[in-house]
Amino acid sequence: MMTTLLLPLVLLASSAPASQDEGAKATEAPSWLVTFDALQSRLDDPKLRLIDARSKADYDKGHIKGAVWVDAKAAEKLAAKPGGLTDAKAWEAWIAPLGIASETEVLVYDGGRQLDAARLWWLMTYLGVPKVGLIDGNFGLWASEKQPVTTDAPKVEPREFAVTFRNDRHATKSEVLSALESKTATIVDARSTDEYTGARKMAKKGGHVPTACSLEWNNLVDKNGKFLNESELKTKLAKAGVKPGEPVITHCQGGGRSSVNAFVLERMGFKTRNYYLGWSEWGNAEETPVEVETEAKK
């Protein structure tokens, strides 16, 4: 007999509409989170496109029923290329095999702690896909709970999707510099403590953006890919120095970890942008200010 774990949907964003029960329908908020129970009830829904962000080898061994494999690494490489984040034709070629239409609701999962899934979530919302969300838990947890798993790959007809970049979801280097000068946004650094302090240098310059709050991404989601509850997240944000109501800009080294933070912060009600190129650009630029932790400051 198949057993189903009932996982409550955590409605973190105070602005989320009351109709968003159990993640059954996508809302206008891009940070849509769905429980296993709610997903299981929609596995045969033709309006739902389920995306598997794991490796092809893992996908072929078994995946959630109806899931389509996506080359997450190819998307990561495309976004990191010079001009990649503004190459509409390249992104249209990447997304066409997924058969996504304007009415399609997209859910992404991975095999870890939401890192690959959140990257694809953010990139797809940035490309203009209107309804994209994450599953609260990874594939390992899904399989361990005897949820439906298959090796059958669904046939999806390719479909043209007109990419419309949502620049309100993205922050450029110049916009981060402007936000620092005008003090109009809180910078949230999703990297490790060693990267933040400068003990580990991943670019020409080490350290962090001046005034940035350190909020390491993996402190927001557990090893099974489940996000912390609202109370725990509020404590994490307060400890990091993220103030309620202030617009935020997340960043990491190259977009993935900051996408996890962006997802959480949006669900907490923050107006959020992701400085996707992050330290790979900031730490190698001549004009960007950097702060390094000293022994006295520690």
**CB count, 10 Å around CB of 286?**
6
Which residue from 149, 267, 123, 285 is spatially nearest to 209, judged by alpha carbons?
Answer: 285
Q: By mean pLDDT, which of 30-34, 182-186, 215-219, 223-227 is the weakest?
A: 30-34
Q: Which two structure tokens, joined as six digits, stand for 249?
A: 């800009």
Percent pLDDT > 90 in the chain is 87
Strand partners, 157: none
Predicted structure pTM score: 0.89
- At residue 55, the pLDDT reads 97
pLDDT (tens digit per residue) in 103-160: 999 999 999 999 999 999 999 999 999 999 999 999 999 999 999 999 999 999 999 9
pLDDT (tens digit per residue) in 236-282: 999 999 999 899 999 999 999 999 999 999 999 999 999 999 999 99
**CB count, 10 Å around CB of 269?**
16
The yes-or-no verdict on residue 1 having pLDDT over 60 is no
Domains defined along the chain, listed by start = 32-165 (3.40.250.10), 170-282 (3.40.250.10)
The yes-or-no verdict on residue 73 having pLDDT over 70 is yes
